Structure 1
């Protein structure tokens, strides 16, 4: 049992280490390298970035899930003296990183993968509206004063054509400057995701070493 738990912990530590390293590598090297190598080829830049994000997501979700599951199993299956807090901290690393990544990076990644964004434009449209007009006033034959006949109070409905401003949501292709600006934001958020994962990795390594000394 002890040997199995050791293997489970080591695989969990390795999974955290690989996924944290992939985010650091992406932020510090891969994204800047792709941008530099495709400076004059916008189409190639978009294709390579799309492939990078898809592969990064797959490794993050799979390895992160594995690490959380294994650390949870290591904690739950350990005897009372082996239920160390670092196993819980390590198990929570992926959910925390996933939440941060979803909040700060996911939407921007989707924009680059789809290569489009929503843009609101306003246009003028003609619409027919119905207006209520007051009944016509009658003129008194005695002194030419105006008055309303109480028996003729039915309001008149009139249709008029008016121009109104209507917001319309269009999906437009990202401009190159916008694309690179979003890419810069993603690179920064990937760095912080790597920091979260790396912190969990270090805690698990230190805890494992202390557990076996």
Structure 2
């Protein structure tokens, strides 16, 4: 029983140490990912966003796995240990992962929610654009086929073609302006999310490191 408890405690302590190390390594990634977002253009925005979100999701999944292992190991060690070995450090160490997860969630949730809303609005606008473009083409076609064109007046024909070209040009400019605005809003939302994660890293690296030290000292003190 004693050997089994020792193995469980070692697994929990090791997982907690790796957990703290992963958070510490994230501190150096903030500058790189923020630079990727700030330098993204309309053409490269999807790729840049995918890279940043992919990194956040991968790190989150890794931390969730390590945190689950560490928390489960410490809880198991505490519940299975004899009364004399139910030390408080096992409880403290088991709370590190849940506490840091709550901090991450509290800091990033508002910005991620805003980003999701922006993505939803963007999809709605993209769905509306074909219908709007088709409507404009129908209006232009009606003008071209109107009775004014049948008069055969060259000046009238020239005057009618010019507004059509201007309408198309204006539509393209409006579309580009909308894309620029969407890119700016998406970048700002993701940059805010990155900053929140970065702030959470600073807080959580201290908490997880302290938890790892407490677990290590407690494990050493048991034997």
> How does the TM-score come out when normalised to structure 2?
0.62
Q: Counting helix residues as a fraction of each chain, which structure ranks higher?
A: 2
> How does the TM-score come out when normalised to structure 1?
0.64
Shift of 1:176: 2.8
- Distance in 1, matches of 2:201 and 2:31, equals 13
CA 1:179 to 1:80, structure 2 compared with 1: closer, same or farther past 3 Å?
closer
Name the counterpart of 2:137.
Answer: none
- Distance in 1, matches of 2:81 and 2:48, equals 48
Q: Secondary structure of the equivalent of 2:28?
A: helix
Match of 1:189 among 181, 200, 215: 200
Match of 1:207 among 190, 194, 218: 218
Give per-residue Cα distances to partners, 1:56-82, cap 9 Å, x unaligned: 121122211111111011111111221
Larger RCO, structures 1/2 (Cα 8 Å, 6+ apart): 2
Q: Pairwise mapping of residues 163-182 of structure 1 onto structure 2 (< 5 A)?
A: 174-182=185-193
Q: Secondary structure of the equivalent of 1:41?
A: coil
Structure 1 unaligned blocks of 5 or more: 120-171
Q: Is it true that 1:74 corresponds to 2:77 in the alignment?
A: yes
CA 1:194 to 1:105, structure 2 compared with 1: closer, same or farther past 3 Å?
farther
- Distance in 1, matches of 2:39 and 2:192, equals 16
The structure having more radius of gyration, on CA atoms, is: 1
Give per-residue Cα distances to partners, 1:53-111, cap 9 Å, x unaligned: 11112112221111111101111111122111101111111221222222122343455
Q: Secondary structure of the equivalent of 2:39?
A: coil
Name the counterpart of 2:161.
Answer: none
Name the counterpart of 2:57.
Answer: 54
Structure 2 unaligned blocks of 5 or more: 122-181
Checking the alignment, whether the CA contact within 8 Å between 1:15 and 1:66 is kept in structure 2 is: yes
Q: Is it true that 1:63 corresponds to 2:66 in the alignment?
A: yes
Give per-residue Cα distances to partners, 1:109-154, cap 9 Å, x unaligned: 4555x483799xxxxxxxxxxxxxxxxxxxxxxxxxxxxxxxxxxx
* C-alpha RMSD of the superposition: 2.5
Q: Is it true that 1:9 corresponds to 2:9 in the alignment?
A: yes
Aligned length: 158
CA 1:48 to 1:9, structure 2 compared with 1: closer, same or farther past 3 Å?
same
- Distance in 2, matches of 1:16 and 1:202, equals 10
Shift of 1:180: 2.3
- Distance in 1, matches of 2:70 and 2:203, equals 19
Q: Secondary structure of the equivalent of 1:61?
A: helix
Name the counterpart of 1:163.
Answer: none
- Distance in 2, matches of 1:111 and 1:202, equals 37
Name the counterpart of 2:140.
Answer: none
